[in-house]
A and B are shown apart, each in its own frame.
Chain A
Amino acid sequence: MDMVVILSTLDATIRLSTPLLLACLAGMYSERAGVFDIGLEGKMLMAAFAAAATASVTGSVWAGLAAGLGISLMTALLQGAAAITLKGNQLIAGTAINMLAVGLTTFLGIQWFAQGGRTPQLKEGERFTEVKLPFADELANVPVVGPIYSDLISGHNILVYIAFLAVPVTWFVLFRTRFGLRLRAVGENPKAVDTAGISVIAMRYQAVLITGLLCGFAGAFFSIAQGSGFGNNMTAGKGFIALAALIFAKWKPVPAMFTCLLFGFLDALQIRLQGVEVGGVQVPVQAIQALPYVLTVILLAGFIGKAVGPKAGGVAYSKER
C-alpha cells in the first residue's frame, strides 16, 4: 500500500471511530455510576433523526444539533426514570429504549417526510462540513508532517474534534474531580456514598444525563455530519460496538479512545478490503466485521486479561432495609 492509501484508510478510521468514541464515553459515565446502559444505540438513533429532521426544517445545522442533544437527553431521562426512580430492570429499560427508537424514528420519518423513512437530503449550512485547522495549507508540502497534519488531523468536521477532546475531559472529570470521585463511588459502593450524605439518586441522574448528551453528539454525527440526512436504522448497531469497546477498554477513557480507533480501523479496513484479494485469497469482510464482537467475548471470558465492571452496576439503589 502506498502513502495515499494508508492516509485515506487512517482518515476513514478517524471518521468511523468518532461516533463509537462518543457513544463509548457516554456509556462510561452511566456505567461508572452503576447504571448499565444497553440503550446507547437507541439514544443515538433518536438523536440522529431529531438532528436531521430539525436541520432540514429549520435550515440550520446548529438547530439540528440542539434538537439531537435535546431528544437524546429526554430519552436518557426516560430511561433514568425507569432504571433509577422506579427501580426497574436496567437492561430491559435499555432494550425498550432501543426498540422505541427504531419504531418512532421510522414511523415519524415516513409520516413527516414521506420518503420511506428518510429525511430530505441536507443542503449546505444544514450539516457540519470540514474544518480546516490553521496552517493546514502552509504545512501541506512539508514531508511526513505535512500530509499527516493537513490530511489526517485537519479537515474533519467539528464533532470529530469534540469527540477526541471529550477523552481528556472525561479522564479529568472522572479521575480528578470531586464529582468524578462521587460518580465512581456510586457505581462501586452506593451505600457508602449515601452514608456520606450524598444523594445516590441525584448522582446517577447526573451521570445518565451526561450519557444522553454524549449520545446526542454521536447521533448527530451520523445524520448531519458524516451523512446528509437520516436513513432508517442508520446507527446500524454502532451503539453495541461502542458497548463492546467500553468493556474492552475496561471502563477507562484513554483505553476507550484506542479501542474505538482500533474498531474504527477494522471498519475502515473491511470497507477497503471489499472484493480485494490478499495473496490470492479473498478476505471475508464479515470476519473483520465480526472481529470487535469476537474480541469482546474473548476478553469478557477472561482469555486475554479480565474485564470487571463497576461492582454496583445493574442494581437500582434502595435506601430501606
Chain B
Amino acid sequence: MSALKPLPRWADIILLPLINLTLAFIVAGLVVFAIGQNPLAALDAIITGAFGSGYNIGYTLYYSTNFIFTGLAVAVAAHAGLFNIGGNGQAYIAGLGVILVALAMQSLPWWLTFPVAILAGAAVGGFWGFVPGYLQAKRGSHVVITTIMFNFIASAIMIYVVVNLLKPPGILAPESASIAVEGRMPKLGTFIPWFKNTDVNFTLILALICLVGAYFLIWHTRFGFAMRALGQNPTATRYAGMSNSRITMIVMTMSGALAGMVAVNQVFGVQYRLVLDYVADAGFVGIAVALMGRNHPLGILLAALLFGALYQGGNELQYVIPGLSKEMVVVIQALVILFTGAMEGLFRPALQRLFSGGPAAARSGG
C-alpha cells in the first residue's frame, strides 16, 4: 500500500470530495426512499427552495455567510494541526461583544458601528479560542476536549448574562434590548431589490474578505508558513527555532475570532438583539464545510454555498413535501463529515490504485 503514488492534485481536491458528497446524498436518498418518499422530488424541492428566486438565494447566502466563517475557523486551525470543535461556543460568546458595542453606539450611523462591532466580536470570540489554545500550548490540555467544554461553559454564561443582566424589564422572552432603528445596518435587499427582505447583509462582504485574507495569510505570509509547518511536523518547527506554543495560541485566537464573526452576522446584521442559541450549530456545520472544502478558502466558499443551499432548501422542503423535515439536512451534513472526514480511506486507496496505472502496477509496485 505504501508504494501507491499520491493522487493527482485535481483528484485529491475535486474528485474525492465529489465522490464522498455523492455517496452522502445517495445514503440520505436511501433514507428518504425507505420511509416511502421520493428522493428526487425531495432534491428538487431543496434546489428550488435554495435557488428558485432572489428571495431564496438571499436566504441561501445568509446561511452561507455563517458557514464561511465557521468553515474558515476550522480550516485555519486545521492547517496548524489543531481541531477546533469549539466554533459554536466562540460564535455564541462573541455575541456579547457585538451587542454591547451595538447598543452603546446605537444612536450613531451603522457604518460607524459596524467595524467596531466586528472588532468586538473578534476580540470576544478570539478570547474564547485563545484560552483553549493557551491551555494546550502551556499546560498540555487537549484542545478538542477543552473546546468541547468551552462550548457548554459559553452556553451557561450566555443564559445567565442574557436572562439576568441584558434582559430589559418588561420583556418576557430571554433576549437583550433591541438596537434602535436608526442604528441598524440595512440588509442587502435595501440596495438590491432582487433579494427582497431576506437576511443577507453586509456581513457577506466581510466573509468574502475573510476568505481572501485567509488565503494570503495561509500561503503568502511567514506566519502562514510557520503554522502549516507546525501542522505538518511540530518537531521540525521547534528545531527551526519557531515557538510552537506561540503559533498555537495565535492560531486558536484567529480561529475563535473568525467563528465570532457569526455573531456579527446574526446579532448586528439580522436580529438586532441578542437572543439565546442563535448560533444554531453553525460551528459544527463549519467542520463539514472545512472538510468538504479541503481547508482551502475557495473550497470553503463552495462548500459554504452548498450547505447554505441545503439549509435554506431544507427549510422550504417541509412546506413542499409534508413529512420531510429540515432535519434531513443535518443527516446529509453528518454523512458528509463521516465520508469526507472519517471514512476517507473508503475510496482513496482504490482511486490511488486507479491513478497508479491499474491493479497490476499497484501489485508490482508493492
Contact = CB atoms under 8 A, between A and B. Distances in A.
A286 B323 contact: no
A81 B346 CA distance: 10
B341 A106 contact: no
Interface residues of A, number: 50
Interface string A88-116: 11111101111110111011101110100
B286 to A, nearest CB: 11
B159 A286 contact: yes
Nearest to B146: A297
Contacts of A89: 83, 341-342
B1 A96 contact: no
A292 to B, nearest CB: 8
A283 to B, nearest CB: 11
A86 interface: yes
Q: Is the interface of A mostly helix, strand, loop or mixed?
A: helix
Q: Is the interface of B mostly helix, strand, loop or mixed?
A: helix
A88 B141 contact: no
Given A93-B342, A107-B327, A293 B149 contact: yes
Contacts of A92: 83, 287, 291, 337, 341-342
Contacts of A38: 85, 144, 148
Nearest to B138: A301
B157 interface: yes
A206 interface: no
A95 B334 CA distance: 8
A129 interface: no
Interface stretch (A48-56, A181-189, A211-219, A237-245): A237-245
A189 B342 CA distance: 23
B250 to A, nearest CB: 19
B131 to A, nearest CB: 9
A140 interface: no
Contacts of B324: 111
Most chain A C-beta atoms within 10 Å of own C-beta, residue among B323, B331, B335: B331
Contact of A297 (B150, B323, B337): B150
Contacts of B146: 297, 300-301
Interface residues of B, number: 47
A121 interface: no
Nearest to A116: B325
A96 B328 contact: no
Nearest to B348: A86
B324 to A, nearest CB: 8
Contacts of B327: 102-104, 106-107, 110
Contact of B144 (A91, A112, A284, A301): A91
B145 A296 contact: yes
A277 interface: no
B240 interface: no
B20 to A, nearest CB: 12
Nearest to A247: B145
Contacts of A168: none
Nearest to B152: A293
Contacts of B334: 96-100, 102-103
A86 B337 contact: no
A82 interface: yes
Given A297-B135, A297-B146, A320 B159 contact: no
Contacts of B156: 286-287, 289-290, 293
A178 interface: no
B182 interface: no
Contacts of B83: 89, 91-92
Contact of A86 (B1, B331, B332, B343): B343
Nearest to A299: B141
Contacts of B152: 237, 240, 290, 293
Nearest to B83: A91
A20 interface: no
B364 to A, nearest CB: 18
Which are the 3 A-B pairs with shortest beta-carbon distances?
A103-B330, A86-B345, A88-B342
Given A106-B325, A237-B152, 13 more contacts: A85-B345, A86-B342, A87-B345, A90-B342, A93-B341, A96-B337, A99-B333, A102-B327, A240-B149, A286-B160, A297-B149, A300-B139, A303-B139
Interface of B: 1-2, 31, 35, 83, 85, 135, 139-142, 144-146, 148-150, 152-153, 156-157, 159-160, 164, 284, 287, 291, 323-325, 327-335, 337-338, 341-346
Interface of A: 38, 78, 81-83, 85-93, 95-100, 102-104, 106-108, 110-112, 114, 237, 240, 243-244, 247, 284, 286-287, 289-290, 293-294, 296-297, 300-303, 320-321
19 contacts: A82-B343, A86-B346, A87-B345, A89-B83, A89-B341, A92-B341, A93-B342, A96-B334, A96-B337, A99-B337, A100-B338, A103-B328, A104-B331, A106-B325, A108-B35, A293-B150, A297-B146, A301-B146, A321-B2
